[in-house]
Amino acid sequence: MRESYRFELDPENKILMLRFQGNKLTDALLQEVYDAMRECSAVIDPQAVIADFSSVVQVDLSTTFINQLANRPPPVPRPTESPGVLVCGTNTLYGMARMFQMLAEVTHPRVRVVRTLDEAIKILRFPTVRFEFLP
């Protein structure tokens, strides 16, 4: 399922971005992405993380899985220092992400949910960002 997402990095600000390229999000794909984010973050040690779900139009996530994910350790090395922003364009995904945010207040304290990538960048307060594809 690796073709459904990719990682990008703003090397100057150390912002790691996960960008979905597929249009369907499932429990299995989100599990794979979460694990891949953990591996990537361990190497990069990002200052901030953006997960861009804006291309997702079909959501097939279970509330049980969202609850389990909210109780797992964050995929970043320093969750209390590194903010994470979830970009969710559809109402369904936005609602699921907000549910995750509320359930994960203790385990993922710096997660925010927004509708657009521009909003995400404003929240992070970096003056300029430039993302490059990570192979």
Tens digit of pLDDT for each residue in 73-103? 988 877 667 899 999 999 999 999 999 999 9
Helix (H, G, I), strand (E, B) or coil at 20: strand
**What does the mean pLDDT of the chain come to?**
92
User: Is residue 116 pLDDT above 70, yes or no?
Assistant: yes
Burial label for 15, CB within 10 Å (0-12, 13-18, 19+), is buried
Per-residue pLDDT at 66: 96
Model confidence at 69, pLDDT cuts 50, 70, 90, reads very high
* CA dist., res. 39 & res. 113, Å (int): 23
- At residue 15, the pLDDT reads 96
Give me the pLDDT at residue 79, please: 62
As a whole number of angstroms, the distance between CA 16 and CA 129 comes to 11
pLDDT in tens, 48-63: 999 999 999 899 999 9
Q: Could you tell me the domains of the chain? A: 2-134 (3.30.750.24)
Q: How confident is the model at residue 31 (pLDDT cuts 50, 70, 90)?
A: very high
